[in-house]
Amino acid sequence: MKALEEKIKKEGIVKKGNVLKVDSFLNHQIDVSFLDKMGDEFQRLFQEHKINKILTIEASGIGIAVMTARHFGDVPVVFAKKSKTSNISDDLYHTRVDSYTHQKTNDVVVSKQYLNKNDHILIIDDFLANGCAILGLIDLVKQAGGTVEGIGIVIEKGYQAGGRKIREAGYHLESLAIIDSMDDECGQITFRQV
Ligand code: 5GP
């Protein structure tokens, strides 16, 4: 999505540790009309799928998931929670997710009430790096017996392994921008031409 690449170039900040900050429109302040455009684009990319629910992970996936849901006829959005305890409960699906930005492992949970075998899920997240967050969300859908119809990512860091793993596993993955390289010294970002 050209407009997204332009926005990242203008507003994104490349941090040490291979982290891109896009706090001005996605991760801290939210540019609602821009997220609405991205939601519209996800609808176009996944229009052949029958989707009845969107799944994301707190916190930064929620905004884009909600805007995307508007374009799929107001389907519900479920966000997986990073639980503070690892208590096993019968009412929750659990999975373990290594956090890329916080370098810790989270026990991630969704209530069994909100995911089930009839669900046809579009998974949405802000970033794709090594794929831990998305693989965790796929695991939650599988535990519920639901179907992953597709995976929509705002920014994929294409030089990390996540995208390859998920495509090789056969999932329909669409990223609105794919970064091929970024340099924290000069702030240069190169996008994959698709
Ligand atoms: P993964 O699990 O694919 O390794 O990393 C994806 C998750 O880590 C996303 O949910 C996102 O919150 C966070 N993340 C990974 N890389 C970046 C980055 O460069 N910038 C920001 N803001 N978040 C990132």
Residue nearest to ligand 1 atom 18, measured at CA: 19
Domain of residue 37, CATH code: 3.40.50.2020
Total count of domains within the chain: 1
Closest of 158, 165, 161 to residue 180, by C-alpha = 158
Q: What is the pLDDT of residue 101?
A: 83
Pocket of ligand 1 (CB under 6 A): 19-21, 27, 60, 100-101, 125-133, 162
pLDDT in tens, 51-102: 999 999 999 999 999 999 999 999 999 999 998 665 556 799 999 999 888 8
- Give distance in angstroms: CA of 140 to centre of ligand 1: 19
pLDDT in tens, 113-141: 999 999 999 999 999 999 999 999 999 99
133 marked among binding-site residues:
yes
152 marked among binding-site residues:
no
User: Would you say 54 and 141 are in contact if contact means Cβ atoms under 8 Å apart?
Assistant: no
Confidence of residue 103 (pLDDT cuts 50, 70, 90): confident
Alpha-carbon span 30 to 49, nearest angstrom: 28
Q: What is the pLDDT of residue 86?
A: 57
Atom of ligand 1 nearest to the CA of 22: 22
pLDDT in tens, 3-31: 999 999 999 999 998 999 999 999 999 99
The domain of 30 spans 2-191
Closest of 144, 122, 6 to residue 67, by C-alpha = 122
Q: Is 114 exposed, middle or buried (0-12, 13-18, 19+ CB in 10 A)?
A: middle
Atom of ligand 1 nearest to the CA of 132: 2
Alpha-carbon span 186 to 164, nearest angstrom: 27
Q: Is the ipTM of this complex over 0.95?
A: yes
